[in-house]
Amino acid sequence: AEPLGIWKLSGPAATRLVPQLERLGALRSAEPSRSRDALVRFTDPLATPELGYHLYAVGADQAEPPGPGFPITVLDSGIDLFHPDFAGRPDTIALNPQSVDRDDQDTYHGTTVGSTAAAAVNGVGAEGIYPLARLRTYDLADLSDSSVIAGIAAAVKAGPSVINLSLGGSSASRAEYEAIQFAVGSGSLVVAASGNELGAGNPTLFPASYPHVLTVGAVDREGNSSVFSSASPAVDLVAPGEDIPLQNPTDADLFALESGTSFAAPIVAAAAAWVRTVRGAMSPTQLADLLRSSATDIDAVGFDERTGFGLLSIPAALAAPIPRNDPQEPNDEVRQVIAGGLFRAAKPFVASKFAAALDATEDPADVYRVSVPKNQKLTVRVTPTADVGVLLLEPGTRPGSSRRIAVSDRAGRGVETVTWTNRGRGAAVIYLQVELGSRPGGVANPGYAVALTRARAPR
């Protein structure tokens, strides 16, 4: 570093020159060159292999976490920003005022979630999966749909991030669903806890069961599915969710151990932000698929409703091939592809040939805009790897509505073909919809290839 007046010398050269420079009065200082760690991890008291087992279970000890990068946004009961794990923590942004009562376990839920994801390495308390993450927090006034929607809107306004939702209920909300799809379409990955209702009838829970949500179940210290962890086709993967430590905010000798899928979700959310930071730009769908495909299969062979595709593995996600992008997601319905629908701009018209994929819970249908010149006959051939149905739709009388004009839904994996002729006075915009059939045949993420041709229509 010559401009700074700093030089590095070999051992023999330093032994010879340092005394000479000192005699000449030309030496400011001399010191050995020491190795540096980007982050001295697993030194906080609650990060030992016994207390912080969850860090090791997902491989956080096998890779160096990056510096601040793709953000994590926690929508919860707020974070105690004066807690030892957060006091003075850089890159911690409150998107609204945080109202936390240290004597109220419910309002401290968000602090535990935030600590699990991103607690600082500072010699006290716990360590997060991604300690240097850019952490955003939004305090939900309550757990109502309207509060969650407001939180998602604030998260989207702040910019793309991994949004953690350690909450849920048994009632679906159209408005909440659309807010989540808007977040995904705006570049954010939404991660949700699967729920703790396995022993209470195992109801379908939301937002865990919405499409395009990465849903996380819980496992115990031994890697077995937690007895409380809700099971469903929507579960994507699992992470430790039992005995997750949280430092007492006022007594360094005390800590709590928390259990629930609420604390498995931020482990995955933090890992997602870590992987996204290290591996660079990718869509939320690609990031979710990467975490699912690189998970370590446990329990039943292959996908199962208790553990999804398996246990989160950070090292595997850092090394696995990035899945192919499906650039128009979310495009599950007409409203999501038209201008002024869910998004301000329309999705682009599709090319003559393209490929995409479906998923029974995450992506059950795809809709595309197709332009057909006047007096042209459109032919669409869809070659799937599983049973699919293909429809052509024309715009209805209400924005976002549509009417079927052609359908092909053969049993099995055969090629589906639909045609339509534009007899109008000008070019027409119609919609192509590809959806999973009634017998997908157990194919995970069934793919399909589309070929569109246009020819002059016979008179």
Instruction: In whole angstroms, give the CA distance from residue 364 to residue 440.
Output: 11
CB 363 within 8 A of CB 373: no
Which pLDDT value is given to residue 437?
Answer: 86
Pairwise pLDDT comparison (251 vs 351), residue with the higher score: 251
pLDDT at 177: 98
- Is position 326 within any domain? no
Of 225, 262, 313, 402, the active-site residue reads: 262
Same domain, 198 and 88: yes
328 belongs to a structural domain: no
Phi, psi of 95 (to 5 degrees): -80, -15
Indicate the range of 18-27, 177-186, 282-291, 362-371 predicted with least confidence: 18-27
Residue predicted with more confidence, 334 or 25: 334
| Residue 27 and residue 53 share a domain | no
Q: What percent of the chain has pLDDT over 90?
A: 82
pLDDT at site 37: 44
420 pLDDT more than 50: yes
Structure tokens belonging to residue 442 = 């157990």
Answer yes or no: do 406 and 264 share one domain. Answer: no
Mean of pLDDT values over 294-317: 96
Asked whether residue 335 carries a pLDDT value surpassing 60, the answer given is: yes
Flag whether pLDDT at 221 surpasses 70. Answer: yes
- 394 located within any domain: yes
Q: CB under 8 Å to 392, separation ≥6 — which residues?
A: 370, 378, 380, 404, 405, 406, 407, 418, 420, 430, 431, 432, 433
Out of 319, 342, 377, a domain closes at 319
* 457 or 444: which leads in pLDDT: 457
133-146 mean pLDDT: 94
Asked whether residue 103 falls in the same domain as residue 231, the answer is yes
Global confidence as pTM: 0.90
In a domain, 179, yes or no: yes
3-state SS, one letter per residue, for the chain: CHHHCCCCCCHHHHHHHHHHHHHHCCCCCCCCCCCCCCCCCCCCHHHCCCCCHHHHHCCHHHCCCCCCCCCEEEEECCCCCCCCCCCCCCCEEECCCCCCCCCCCCCCHHHHHHHHHHCCCCCCCCCCCCCCCCEEEEECCCCCHHHHHHHHHHHHHHCCCEEEECCCECCCCHHHHHHHHHHHHCCCEEEEECCCCHHHCCCCCECCCCCCCEEEEEECCCCCECCCCCCCCCEEEEEECCCEEEECCCCCCCEEEECCHHHHHHHHHHHHHHHHHHHCCCCHHHHHHHHHHCCECCCCCCCECCCECCECCHHHHHHCCCCCCCCCCCCCCHHHCCCCCCCCCCCCECCCEEEEECECCCECEEEEEEEECCCEEEEEEEEECCCEEEEEEEECCCCCCEEEEEEECCCCCCCEEEEEECCCCCCEEEEEEEEECCCCCCCCCCEEEEEEEEEECCC
Pairing of strands 447-456, 244-247: unpaired
> Where residue 444 falls among pLDDT bands split at 50, 70, 90?
low
In this structure, the number of other CB atoms found within 10 A of the CB of residue 54 comes to 25
pLDDT at position 377: 97
Residue 40 lies in a domain: no
Segments forming the whole domain that contains residue 434: 334-456
Q: Can 44 be counted among the known catalytic residues?
A: no
Decide if 61 is catalytic.
Answer: no
Number of structural domains the chain divides into: 3
* 27 and 49 co-located in one domain: no
Query: Which position among 44, 76, 359, 363 bears the catalytic label?
Result: 76
- Of the residues 54, 83, 109, 212, only one is catalytic, namely 109
Domain termination residue (choose one: 265, 295, 319): 319
Q: Tell me the average pLDDT across 234-253.
A: 97
The CATH number of residue 369's host domain is 2.60.120.380
Cβ atoms of 240 and 53 within 8 Å: the answer is yes
Q: Mean per-residue pLDDT for 75-83?
A: 97
**Does residue 134 lie within any of the structural domains?**
yes
Would you say residue 375 lies in a domain?
Answer: yes
Average pLDDT over residues 7-19: 84
- Pair 225, 273 in one domain: yes
- The alpha carbon of 85 is separated from its chain's Cα centroid by a whole number of angstroms, namely 24
pLDDT value of position 34:
55
Model pLDDT, residue 397: 62
Decide: 287 and 274 in contact? Cβ < 8 Å. Answer: no
In this structure, of 13-22, 83-92, 143-152, the range with the lowest mean pLDDT score is 13-22
Asked if residue 241 and residue 93 are part of one domain, the reply reads: yes
**Is residue 432 situated within a structural domain?**
yes
Where is average pLDDT lowest: 5-9, 64-68, 119-123? 5-9
Mean pLDDT to the nearest integer, 146-165: 98
Task: Determine the angle formed by the axes of helices 261-279 and 284-293, rounding to 10 degrees.
Answer: 110
Residue 3 has pLDDT above 70, yes or no: no
Same domain, yes or no, for 308 and 429?
no
- Which pLDDT band holds residue 232 (cuts at 50, 70, 90)? very high
Same domain membership, residue 387 and residue 351:
yes
For residue range 16-48, what is the model confidence (pLDDT) as tens digits?
A: 888 888 888 888 888 877 544 445 788 999 999
The pLDDT mean for the chain works out to 93
Q: Is the pLDDT score of 296 beyond 50?
A: yes
Residue 346 shares a structural domain with residue 287: no
What pLDDT does 39 receive?
Answer: 55
pLDDT exceeds cutoff 60 at 442: no
Both 30 and 63 in one domain: the answer is: no
Is residue 76 among the annotated active site residues? Answer: yes
Q: What is the mean pLDDT of residues 271-286?
A: 98
Q: pLDDT at residue 56 above 90?
A: yes
% of the chain residues with pLDDT over 70:
96
- Which tens digits make up the pLDDT trace of 345-393? 999 999 899 999 999 999 999 999 999 999 999 999 999 999 999 999 9
Residue 36: its pLDDT value, please?
44
CATH number for the domain harbouring residue 132: 3.40.50.200
Query: Model confidence at 1, in pLDDT bands (50, 70, 90)?
Result: low
User: Do residue 277 and residue 373 come from a single domain?
Assistant: no
